[in-house]
Structures are given as C-alpha cells and as structure tokens.
Structure 1
Amino acid sequence: MTSAEDTALVVGGGIGGLTAALALHLSGRRVTVLERAEELKPVGAGIALAPNALRALDVVGLGDEIRDLAAWTGAGGLMTPGGRWLSRSDARRAEERFGGPLVLLHRATLIDKLASRLPHGTVRTGRAARLTDPGDPADPGRPARVTADGEEFAAGLVVGADGVRSAVRGALFPGHPGVTYAGFTTWRVLVPALGRPFVQHESWGPGRLWGTHPFADGTVYAYAAAMTPAGGRAPGGDEKAELLRRFGDWHDPIPAILDAAEPDRVLRHDVHHITEPLPALHRGRVALLGDAAHAMAPTLGQGGNQAIEDAVVLAHHAAPGRAPDLAGYTAARLARTSGIVRRSAAISRFNMMRNRPGIAVRNAAIRAVGALGPALLLRGMDGIADWRPPQAAPYPDGRRERV
C-alpha cells in the first residue's frame, strides 16, 4: 500500500508537468495530474528540443522515440528581411559540440507521448486546483494539501507546473512581483508543406523577427515577434492580416507561408518573464517548475527545455520512502534557470533592436563573427545545450522497451 509520503500531485498538464509526472512515476511515486483545461491541449504550435532536453527525456525513456519522430535541424542561418545572409548555421558542428541534435516537432506530439506513458487515470482534466497547505517535510503527518472542485488531495509532494500565471507560485510567494511584460508579442502558425524546398532560417528586422522551420511530416512551422504594447490585438481579431502588414514584404518563403495560413489558426501571445528570481523554487512540500518557476523570453528557445530539465532533476531529489529534498532541487536549478532567464532577455534586446544605426553595427558584428567560423556563433549555447541530468538514463542503449 502506498503511503502519503510516496504520493505526488502535479498541478498543470503541460510539457513540464507531464514530464515530472512520468519521472516521478518511474521513480516509484503514485502520481496524479490535475489540469484546469478540459483536455490536454498544448499552447503553441511547435517546440525545439536541444540536446540538454533530449538527454533529460532519455531519463524517462522517451529520448530516442522523440529523436526518431522529430525533424533534425539542417543547414540554415540568420538573414535580413531582404534575404541577405548574416550568418549560416552548421548543424553538424552544433551536434558535435553539444553531444546531440536540435530537433523540432509539434508540441501536441510531445504531450501525447508523455501522457501515453502514464498509467490510466493519472491525468484528470477539467480540475482547477488550489494549494491550501504547503505541508511540512519535517512532519510526516503534515502532507501538502490541494483542493480541486471541492475535492481535497493530500500528497507528500506537490509540483506547481501551472504556467506563467501560476496560482501555486502566488500561494507560495505572495510578496513576489511575479511576471512582467517582456516588451514584445509573438505569433505562431502551422501551414501544409510548401511543395518546394526552402532553407530554414530566422530573420531579424527593426523590432521584429521571423523564423521558418519544417517538421518531419512536411508541415511548416513559422513564428514571428514584434515590439508592441502589451495587450494589443489586430483590428477585428485578424492576426493573419496583422502578420501580412508587418512581414508581407519580407523575403521568400515568408509571403508564401502567410498566403497559406488559415486566419483562425494564427496564435498570438504576449511574452511575459520573471525578471526578479524567486527566493527559492520550493516551500514546504511544494516545488515549482517550468514557467511557474522561471518564465523566460523564447529567444534562446529554452523555455520548454528548462521545464523538462526541472522535471528530471526534481524526480532525482524526490525518491519515494522519504520527504523530498526540495532544498537540493532549488540548489540544483535556481541559479541555472535564473541565468538563462537573464540571457534570454539580453538576446531579445539584441535581436529585437529598433535603432537603425545600432542594427547596422549589430549586423556587421554578426557577419564578422560568422566569418571566423561557426564555433564562435555556437558559444552562446555553451553551458546550456551541453547540460547533462544528474541521473543516468535507465536504458543506456536508448532502444529497449520499458517494462
């Protein structure tokens, strides 16, 4: 019979929450996931997984399956709105430097794969959860407590994975200022295969950027960002028209992607981040992970990757049979994630620059660095993409089936 000490409750059924649920389940804890939405429906269209996150997924036995399903990044680079190359990327060099590929896939695919590995009934949707007591790790008789739609849950560990506007974070640290607007909004869109080859790229213009990447099934994933006041929306809600206004005269294949986009499937979200780090990533028997713990700008592509890292590190510090070592979890994650939040914010200021003389200097510097070789351009991910989890993957050859 499983004791309360060996139970875990995850608030939030996104990528970080489901990875944590799976990692904790594999460690021997009985896990329940409470998700506010009526179904597991990820926010966003695509996700890039760097080698650090793929190694974390190896720990839960999913790394190779995701590598097989996803598109591996190939030749590409950074361009101007007119199509002039600023620098070219070398996927092979990146793979050698960081010990693995960068891959792209649908967020829904990753959500489905994580959820499918959990025991039936683990995930309960349509359950808005509220933390009522963080519990006391020094007192076995005081578990953490959560209520959801009138039902009370007690657990030896509660994981707050409830996103940018985390209610769990607010309950743990009511005096913390929370998230602030990062100064820009983003759009994401998926369109069918274009029927012709194109080079994946990210393009930077004054206060704007655009990225285009293919998925393994041929679907084209595109994202855009622009400096704009918070809370803005396109006139009449037509975000496709807004993208055409801002990016319609940029280089090929951007106009073709916009032409193929369905207006009602263009996603727009303001970007918020946590600029003042939390004092800890835990309190009592409750731990925070992902955006709830360290929301960051997407400019390094590490938001979801860091949530996956959090999940396996938390499981490492939460072996069943005893109170979780959440102080150890905070020690392992707070400084790392706070640093990545700062770096992401700095990169967003760099690539969303609006001052034209500054842009000219920036672009010249990028070209100069690129001319010296790809190794210099890859240094920005040193200490991030080369991260390795504290526990070994349970399937060293990466191909054995979980039993």
Structure 2
Amino acid sequence: MTHSADVIIAGGGIGGLTAALSLHAAGITPLVLESAREIKPLGAGINLQPAAVRELDELGLLDELAALGVPAERHLFTDGRGRTLFAEARGTKAGYRWPQFSVHRGEFQMMLRDAVVKRLGPEALRTGVRVEGFEQAPGSVHVHALDRATGAALDLTAEALVAADGIHSTVRALLHPGQGPLRWNGVTMWRGMTEADAFAPGNAVVIAADAKNTQFVTYQISHDALRRGRTLINWVCLVPTGEPGPLAAGVDWNAPGTLGDIVPHYADWHLEWADLPGLLAGSERILAYPMVDRDPLPSWGEGRVTLLGDAAHPGYPSGANGGTQAVIDARVLAYHLAVAPDVGSALAAYESERREATSAIVLANREMDRVGRNRSAGPGTPSDTSIDEVTDSYRKVVGEAEKLNSRPSLTPPGAVRG
C-alpha cells in the first residue's frame, strides 16, 4: 500500500467517512480502512438532527442530502390506536436554521462514500481491509491490518488512528479490555421499509406505544419516492422479549426477522391512519437487532489513538441521535487536529469536548426509552414522568435551537468547502 496519510480511520461508516471529508477540507490527509469488501446501501431509516445537518451543510453536502431524504417537521407520540398523546415541532418548524432529515442510512452512507472518492480520490478509501491492532511510537502510530481478499498482513504508519469501527469496535476492545459485554435493555427491534401510496401523518416521525411497553416507530425516508407520487415508509417494532442485562455472547446481528415474529405483539393494535399488518407485510426484508448500549467510558483513547461514533458512545436509538453524534464527532475531531499545536493535544481536546456531551446523551437516551416504554396506553393516566417533560429535558441535553443557531462554526480557518 503506497498511499500515505496523516490520519488512519478504521471504519467507512457515517462517522468515518464524515471524518475523512472534514479532515480533507482542513488540509489533513486521511486514509479510510473499511473491513467490508464493498460498501453497499444497507440498513433502514435514520434521522439526522439539525446539528448534523448544519455540519453537512458546511461540508457542501446539503443539496445532496435534501435530494435523498425527507424533512421531518414534527414528532407525534401516540397510543396503540394512533391517538396523539403529545406532539412537538422538529427542525426548522422548531426554530432551527437547519432541518431534521429522515433518510435511508445506506443511501446516506453511499452519498458520503461518493463524496470521499470524488474529493479525495479512490485511493483514500480501502475496502476489504480490517484494522486488527496498533502500536504507538514517538511521533507516530503503527497500524496492523489484514487484507481480507489476500490474507496479507498490512503495516501502516500515520500520525493518528481514529477508530470509527462501530459498536463491535476492535480498537475500543484493545483500549478497554475490561469493558465487558454490551448492555441489553430486554427489547428486540425489528426494522423494515415498505413502499406505499401515501403516509397519512405526512412529514412526521410517529412514536406509538401501548400498555405492554410495545412500541412502533415509523416515518418516510425517500425524496425520490415522493417525486414518483409514492412514499417509502421506514418502520421499527420494539418489543420486550427478555430480561434486561448483559447481552449473551453469540448473538447473530445479521439474522433476518420474520413477519411471524412480529405480528402477534400487535394483535390488539388498530392504528386509525395505517393498515399495520399490511405495512409490516409490505417490507421485502426484515432486520432484527437487540437494543443495546454501553455505560459511558471515563476516557476514550490514549496518545495518538481515539474513538469516534458508536465505537466511543453506543446508545439506544430512543433519541434518534446516533448518526448525528457521529457526524459531530467527526467535525470536532477535524477542527482540533487543524488548530491544535500537536496531535496529542488535539485528540485530548476532542475527547474532552465530546466525551462529556455524548455521555449525557447516552444516559438521556436511556431515560427516553424508560419513559417511552412505560407510558400509559391512553391520555389522562398519571405517570412518574410525562412525555413532554422527558422530551423537553432531552432537548436541553442535545442542544436547543438558539444554542445551535448561535454556535461558532466548526470549520477551521482556511478549510475548503466542498
């Protein structure tokens, strides 16, 4: 491998690719090593909050993002019959200068990949290369990787290693060998996508729950489908299926779900605005995952090695913030590497700024999940924490509109846009 780099990034997901684009814009040369032999548009829908959309805008990607996704204008919290219990405005409707976008995760990742290849050149992204270890030396870090196609061992040297290799991060395990298993809240998530004629709630994210702590989340994710007079609906079924605790070893994260796994949990549901059985049956593929997170770490990296995104702070999807926080991580990392006097102080400043913020979000996601799964099946029944209270508290943790709108740019001086 002849491509030289200032920073090696382990992982070509949302965080890793955004980091590559941000570093390149700041005049720093990245090399992304992705274990998958090909980056494909996999997964289902995600939400990108205004804080992430601002950063993508500063990278010159707003128009491309808008051509993919759908702006989410409100969140609707409902019961199992679709009756609204609470509603809140989102994105520009809530006073942010940038929208919230609901988008297909895989298509968004492909958009970022294409931008990396176009701006940095194809040699900046190597697929089929898995990072397996590292050694630090004065002034550098030596990265040990495996070429999965040939079985050849690769040794690379850079000024820093950034682990954006996801919830099962190899680098995190090396940095924190005593971290233990993932923490499971007892909920299984089934995800799918269904194309339909219309989505009655419009540009809304709907979060429904019944008295048995069963949830159903749905929203539309495709601008292209809307142009064709159709809608692509992302849906997530969240069902308590076990006792919370450490996630058992050997869970197959790629196991497909089946309609028969899901439908019995929603037998008593009658959404006024949707044919729920038909919506579930319309998905060509169903994905199944345990709902997991980890306790926040007291530190992320050391020396010239750090973590980013789910490798650093995996959390429940309750607040729809995972992809957003990875994008912000990437931008803050690039900013500090551009302005700090040396790599060590840059990574320390990055971690200091992001670890506290993301730890608070991980814990807020847990509280959002707890309240969401324990609210009443209908309005008027008292609970220890109301939906509006927890959403208001969550908004303060992740950043309200005035704070985001007035925050200084994370684009370092002299950086190139687009």
Q: Answer yes or no: same fold by TM over 0.5.
A: yes
Are 1:380 and 2:379 an aligned pair? no
Are 1:323 and 2:343 an aligned pair? yes
Are 1:113 and 2:116 an aligned pair? no
Match in the other structure for 1:351: 372
Match in the other structure for 1:373: none
What does the per-residue CA deviation read over 1:184-205, in whole Å, with 9 as the maximum and x for residues that have no partner? 1211111112346345421012
Q: 2:196 aligns to what SS in structure 1?
A: coil
Partner Cα separation in structure 2 for residue 166 and residue 75 of structure 1: 34
Q: Structure 1 residues 279-288 or 299-308, which shifts more? A: 279-288
Change (3 A) 1:390 1:162: farther
Are 1:226 and 2:228 an aligned pair? no
Alignment of 1:231-270 (within 5 A): 239-250=258-269, 251=271, 252-253=273-274, 254-262=276-284, 265-270=285-290
Change (3 A) 1:13 1:383: same
Match in the other structure for 2:36: 37
What does the per-residue CA deviation read over 1:62-111, in whole Å, with 9 as the maximum and x for residues that have no partner? 23431343211135511100222211233477531x43321111112211
Q: Structure 1 residues 239-248 or 62-71, which shifts more? A: 62-71
Match in the other structure for 2:14: 15
> How far has the Cα of 1:178 moved from its partner?
5.4
> How far has the Cα of 1:21 moved from its partner?
1.3
Are 1:176 and 2:179 an aligned pair? yes
CA contact (8 A) 1:144 1:285 kept: no
What does the per-residue CA deviation read over 1:182-241, in whole Å, with 9 as the maximum and x for residues that have no partner? 3212111111123463454210122211112112222111112112226789xx965222
Match in the other structure for 2:383: 362
CA contact (8 A) 1:59 1:394 kept: no
Cα root mean square deviation, aligned: 3.2
Change (3 A) 1:258 1:363: farther
> How far has the Cα of 1:379 moved from its partner?
5.0
Change (3 A) 1:171 1:8: same
Are 1:337 and 2:358 an aligned pair? yes
Which runs of 5 or more structure 2 residues have no equivalent in the other structure?
148-152, 226-230
Partner Cα separation in structure 2 for residue 176 and residue 364 of structure 1: 31
> How far has the Cα of 1:116 moved from its partner?
1.2
Q: Which amino acid aligns with 2:280?
A: L
Alignment of 1:266-305 (within 5 A): 266-275=286-295, 277-305=296-324
What does the per-residue CA deviation read over 1:15-59, in whole Å, with 9 as the maximum and x for residues that have no partner? 111111111122222221111112113553011011111112223
Aligned residues: 379
Q: 2:297 aligns to what SS in structure 1?
A: coil
CA contact (8 A) 2:26 2:412 kept: no
Q: 2:383 aligns to what SS in structure 1?
A: helix
Aligned-residue identity in percent? 29
Are 1:309 and 2:331 an aligned pair? no
Q: Which amino acid aligns with 1:126?
A: G
1:127 to 126, 129, 146: 129
Q: Which amino acid aligns with 1:268?
A: A
**Structure showing greater relative contact order (alpha-carbon pairs closer than 8 Å, 6 or more residues apart):** 1
> How far has the Cα of 1:392 moved from its partner?
4.4
What does the per-residue CA deviation read over 1:351-395, in whole Å, with 9 as the maximum and x for residues that have no partner? 1228989994239944xx59xxxxx95453124144657644589
1:192 to 182, 195, 218: 195
Q: Which amino acid aligns with 2:101?
A: V
Change (3 A) 1:315 1:85: same
Q: Which amino acid aligns with 1:246?
A: H
Change (3 A) 1:21 1:340: same
Partner Cα separation in structure 2 for residue 347 and residue 279 of structure 1: 23
Change (3 A) 1:394 1:71: farther
Are 1:90 and 2:110 an aligned pair? no
Which runs of 5 or more structure 1 residues have no equivalent in the other structure?
371-375
What does the per-residue CA deviation read over 1:326-373, in whole Å, with 9 as the maximum and x for residues that have no partner? 11011111110000000101111111228989994239944xx59xxx
Q: Structure 1 residues 184-193 or 66-75, which shifts more? A: 66-75
CA contact (8 A) 1:60 1:394 kept: no
Q: 1:174 aligns to what SS in structure 2?
A: coil
Q: 1:121 aligns to what SS in structure 2?
A: helix
Are 1:147 and 2:150 an aligned pair? no
Change (3 A) 1:144 1:314: farther
